[in-house]
Amino acid sequence: MYFTDPYCAWQKGTNENSNGLLREYYPKGMDLSKTNNTELKEKLDLLNNRPRKCINYKTPNELINEYINQCCT
């Protein structure tokens, strides 16, 4: 487990990148209580099916499916 220093965004690049991707759909200061579960699920599906450089241009869904197939079959 790795703990970053407070206010050191450069130590947690993947997390900061994911926050930036979320901001495409939910701008800073937006009232998130006005979103519904269907809309949220659509946005999560878009993000989880987006290729990421940090995982060799695979999508998070591909990676989790590979893991499930390896460990559970």
Domain boundaries defined on the chain? 9-72
Q: What is the pLDDT along the chain (73 residues), one digit of tens a residue?
A: 677 888 887 778 877 888 888 899 999 899 888 889 999 899 999 999 999 888 899 999 999 999 999 987 6
Cα separation, 28 vs 11, in Å, equals: 22
Model confidence pTM above 0.75: no
46 contact partners, CB below 8 Å, separation of at least 6: 25
CA angle in degrees (0–180, nearest 5) for 35-41-45: 135
